[in-house]
Amino acid sequence: MPKLIIDDIPVEVAPGTSVLEAARSVGITIPHFCYHPALAIAAACRLCAVKLLDGPVKGIQMSCSLPAQDGMVVSTTDPEALRMRQLVIEWLMMNHPHDCPVCDEGGECLLQDFTIAGGHSRRRYQGKKRTFQNQYLGETIHHEMNRCIECYRCVRFYQDYAGGTDFGVTGSAGRVYFGRFQEGALESPFSGNLVDICPTGVFTDKTGRFRARYWDYEFAPSVCQHCSVGCNTAPQSFQRETIKIVGRRNDQVNGWFICDRARFDKGYLNDPQRPREARLDGATCGYDVAIDAAAKEIDKFVAQNGAESLAFVGSSRLSLEGMTLLAQLARTVDGSRLCYFGNEEELAGSVAAARLLHEKNSAYLGDIEKAECIALYALDLMEEGPMLALAVRKAFLAGAQIYLVDGDPIPARQKLPFTFTAVATLDEVPFEGGGRGVVIAGAGKKDADLLDQLASGGAKLVMLQPGPNAMAGGLLTLEFGGQAFSELASAGKIKGVVCFEADLPDGLIADIEILACADWRTSAAAAKAPVFLPTTTWVESDGTAINYEGRAQRFQRTRVPGLPLRGLDPKYYGSTADAVAEHPPRLHRREVPGGAERDAWRVMAQLIERLGGRTIEEPLTGRWSKLKDLDPEGEGVRVFNLLQGDPRTES
């Protein structure tokens, strides 16, 4: 472990740590642009100069590319180093347009911070600035090439890290150009990371440009809800509208990056047409009136048909809090049925994962990245867990063998960022003793015996799930029982349903009475239900989700519930004639328009109380209570060992 001294502070770091990172570990930030912990070192910007006063290396050095060594004495404030940084930043800024007031990166721009930190505050250059033509890069990323300071982060991410081939660097000397080889939409499904990784405003999120400044946003740590990987994000909202979603570092789950689906698929959160008011027989009503009515409908139905023909149905869109209370709600109506899954295949896959995986055989991001042999088994990786494709690429670049099993016609559909060998069965994959082997299985139908065999054979397993919180559904099905809705419905065992954020197949609900429906989106079930209760989405609520590897992660409310100001119904402007032109609203109300939504678990708690159950303040109780205080900024915890009384360890 090298021991060195940085600015008179003794530092001990792991072998291979750069001087820049060693300084960072004791709270000293050395100005830098090209360095990024996730990318290979380029030492391209020359801004991170420090002076080595004593030890094995001497003089001015680039701290990002210099490994810390025993006996080094480093000064980050030596006048010679400061002067070098000052000159470097002045030259890097020579052609920069200085358009900060109109640049959408203003307020969150590393260039601004490090220009000042580097000591450059006055422009001396009198010549003509070099200018570039910008390119159209598609509907999501805006290009403003004049702001580039040639740090090469974008191209190192796009080509080297993400395996993209349509973007790169051309030119030479003072005319180095970063863009597509031909104008057009960026092809990589990870292209949105250019926004986060470019330290200046060359790439900005076109879907949210000029809507707000960084300090205007409401934001909080969150977890992506588009697939079961559970990547960490920070949705940024302004005036009740989620404008941008950016990646958040979690080395256990997603590293630094997120996929484009997570970043750009956000329109549904802001949709003014989203149901936001409680309804009783089609007419809007107070929320508590609707909950009373739902309880009455349930009582009436049970009295007429018996509890066994009533099902409480949820889905993997529910938070863990909602899922645990759904089981309690079903128990309150003694004899009723509980469903976390719409169909048998989803239920079987998630229950198999909950049963098979444990602390030792469940692979996480690091296991995939370090694997020597990876089998992709019956899945569409880019659809079911895009960020894991980048983890497989990392392993591939380090020499891992990749096999695609049972993949036809997947290779044609997926543009995977690595090459692989197609084989017909898992038996053909040469896992040598299982060590550092990983099988990534999709959420669809698979041979449980085979997975069982693999799980006991030493290869680690990824079992992707059919929804963001389906693993929780599997674990709770093991704990409380539960059937697939389709199985019950097609067997004619249920006549009535109360559903929470569940997508019930249209064909199966024709002959079923929907007593009440709670959801944040419209559905056939919602239209049919006499009682409708609007719920909050994941950006408007606190909650917990369990990802494919059994990791519980907490997400926080990132904005208040309610209609986005931009989507406000004209009625909220107090005039029907030129409502939209009249801005801001001239009606002053205490309530947030459309802000009646409640978290699904709170609706369930109120229903439990109305149905004669106990009052519930805290949804995570019993063995789940250990997750209550999970740090949303932390790495999350694997639930396998945490949960005492785990049904998988009980015979």
Nearer to ligand FES, 197 or 387 (CB): 197
Does residue 525 bind ligand FES (CB under 6 A)?
no
Q: Which does 48 bind (CB under 5 to 8 A by kind): ligand SF4, ligand FES, none?
A: ligand FES
Nearer to ligand FES, 33 or 485 (CB): 33
Position 537, amino acid:
T
Binding part of the chain for ligand FES, among 33-41, 306-314, 539-547, 595-603 by CB under 6 A, reads 33-41
Question: Are the C-beta atoms of residues 643 and 344 closer than 8 Å to each other?
Answer: no
Least Cβ distance, residue 618 to ligand SF4 (angstroms): 27
Rounded Cα distance between 416 and 376, Å, is 11
Beta strands in 464-618 (DSSP E): 496-500, 513-519, 531-534, 543-546, 551-555
Least Cβ distance, residue 99 to ligand SF4 (angstroms): 14
Question: Are the C-beta atoms of residues 320 and 472 closer than 8 Å to each other?
Answer: yes
Does residue 47 bind ligand FES (CB under 6 A)?
yes
Q: Which does 494 bind (CB under 5 to 8 A by kind): ligand FES, ligand SF4, none?
A: none
Does residue 45 bind ligand FES (CB under 6 A)?
yes
Rounded Cα distance between 28 and 6, Å, is 9
11, 23, 28, 62: residue in contact with ligand FES (rule CB under 6 A)? 62
Nearer to ligand FES, 50 or 438 (CB): 50
Beta strands in 137-277 (DSSP E): 141-143, 167-170, 177-180, 203-205, 218-219, 222-223, 232-238, 241-247
Question: Are the C-beta atoms of residues 219 and 212 closer than 8 Å to each other?
Answer: no
Residues that bind ligand SF4 (CB under 6 A): 148-154, 178, 198-200, 202, 224, 226-227, 229-231, 254, 258-259, 261-262, 385-387
How much is the CA Rg of the chain, to the nearest whole Å?
28
Q: Which does 475 bind (CB under 5 to 8 A by kind): ligand FES, ligand SF4, none?
A: none
Least Cβ distance, residue 484 to ligand FES (angstroms): 54
* Burial degree of 311 (CB within 10 A; 0-12, 13-18, 19+): buried
Q: Which does 32 bind (CB under 5 to 8 A by kind): ligand SF4, ligand FES, none?
A: ligand FES
Binding part of the chain for ligand FES, among 32-40, 79-87, 187-195, 492-500 by CB under 6 A, reads 32-40
13, 48, 253, 365: residue in contact with ligand FES (rule CB under 6 A)? 48
Binding part of the chain for ligand FES, among 38-46, 359-367, 425-433, 510-518 by CB under 6 A, reads 38-46
Binding part of the chain for ligand FES, among 40-48, 76-84, 114-122, 281-289 by CB under 6 A, reads 40-48
Nearer to ligand FES, 196 or 501 (CB): 196
Rounded Cα distance between 601 and 609, Å, is 12
Does residue 64 bind ligand FES (CB under 6 A)?
yes
Least Cβ distance, residue 46 to ligand SF4 (angstroms): 13
Q: Count Cβ atoms below 10 Å from residue 485 Cβ, excluding itself.
A: 31
Nearer to ligand SF4, 442 or 482 (CB): 442
Q: Which does 224 bind (CB under 5 to 8 A by kind): ligand SF4, ligand FES, none?
A: ligand SF4
Rounded Cα distance between 293 and 303, Å, is 15
Number of residues that bind ligand FES (CB under 6 A): 12
Least Cβ distance, residue 124 to ligand SF4 (angstroms): 22
Q: Which does 44 bind (CB under 5 to 8 A by kind): ligand FES, ligand SF4, none?
A: ligand FES
Rounded Cα distance between 544 and 382, Å, is 24
Nearer to ligand FES, 197 or 290 (CB): 197
Q: How many CA atoms lie within 13 A of 580 on its CB side?
A: 3
Rounded Cα distance between 547 and 542, Å, is 16
Q: Which does 278 bind (CB under 5 to 8 A by kind): ligand SF4, ligand FES, none?
A: none
Rounded Cα distance between 464 and 222, Å, is 20
Rounded Cα distance between 646 and 624, Å, is 11
As a whole number of angstroms, the longest Cα–Cα distance in the chain is 88
Closest-CA residue to 64 (of 155, 153, 175, 176): 153
- Enumerate binding residues for ligand FES (CB under 6 A): 32-35, 43-48, 62, 64
